[in-house]
């Protein structure tokens, strides 16, 4: 599928076919491709919780404004942004350092990430949210390329989801993503209005 076709086909689908599963190997392929997304200093401060079990999806639906797609889609991802992903000792920071940097760069690297992303709580939150957003969009494009449909959701009770699913406090929860296949013969409306290029450019 050409990228312009992906841009056209990718939609926020509300009606999923509960009879069509997403095989685990396909989901892992899409996650691996999404993991190629860019990130600040290659820190990759994202994680996902995969929700497949019907009872757990029902619990999640109750915390997400009772949206039917949460239980109808075979998979829902809880996307997480790690507000501590810039800190020394964090697994992805240490992985990046181990594979890509030299020992003599360590002090510079740790001090730089702390100055950029750890100066204030707002900076840490922005760091987590923007990088998790890059991952999430990459996931949705990759899913579309493999014939899957998705729907990102920010209509949910973050703190209740955190408690219900045992998510540590260092993670911000920017969105849920329903993943599956649209119901057969779903009539999809034309894409809604988008800004023109001239309207995007702030003068």
Q: Is residue 63 part of a domain?
A: yes
Q: Is residue 81 part of a domain?
A: yes
Q: Is residue 189 part of a domain?
A: no
Find the domain containing 152 and state its range: 3-184
Report the pLDDT value the prediction gives residue 103, as an integer from 0 to 100. 95
Q: Which of 123, 168, 183, 135 is nearest to 31 (CA)?
A: 135
Report the pLDDT value the prediction gives residue 119, as an integer from 0 to 100. 93
Using a pLDDT cut of 90, give the percent of the chain over it: 97
- Over 90: is that where the pLDDT of 101 sits? yes
- Over 90: is that where the pLDDT of 1 sits? no
- Provide the CATH number for the domain around residue 47: 3.40.109.10
pLDDT, one tens digit per residue, over 35-81 is: 999 999 999 999 999 999 999 999 999 999 999 999 999 999 999 99
- Over 90: is that where the pLDDT of 100 sits? yes
Residues 139-148 have a mean pLDDT of 98
Residues 82-97 have a mean pLDDT of 96
Count: domains in the chain: 1
- Over 90: is that where the pLDDT of 190 sits? no
Residues 108-112 have a mean pLDDT of 96
Average confidence score pLDDT of the chain: 97
């Amino acid at each position: 599928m050409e990228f312009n076709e992906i841009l056209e086909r990718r939609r926020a689908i509300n009606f999923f076919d509960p009879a069509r599963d997403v095989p685990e190997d396909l989901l892992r392929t899409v996650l691996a491709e999404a993991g190629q997304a860019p990130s600040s200093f290659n820190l990759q401060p994202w994680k996902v919780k995969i929700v497949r079990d019907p009872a757990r999806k029902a619990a999640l639906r109750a915390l997400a404004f009772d949206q039917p797609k949460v239980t109808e889609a075979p998979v829902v991802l809880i996307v997480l942004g790690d507000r501590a992903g810039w800190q020394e000792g964090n697994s992805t920071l240490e992985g990046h350092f181990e594979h890509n940097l030299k020992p003599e760069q360590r002090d510079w690297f740790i001090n730089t990430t702390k100055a950029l992303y750890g100066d204030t709580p707002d900076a840490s939150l922005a760091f987590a949210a923007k990088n998790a957003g890059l991952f999430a969009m990459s996931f949705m494009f990759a899913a579309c390329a493999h014939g899957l449909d998705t729907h990102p959701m920010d209509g949910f009770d973050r703190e209740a989801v955190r408690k219900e699913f045992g998510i540590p406090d260092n993670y911000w929860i920017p969105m849920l993503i329903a993943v599956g296949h649209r119901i057969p013969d779903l009539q999809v409306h034309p894409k809604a209005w988008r800004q023109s290029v001239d309207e995007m450019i702030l003068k």
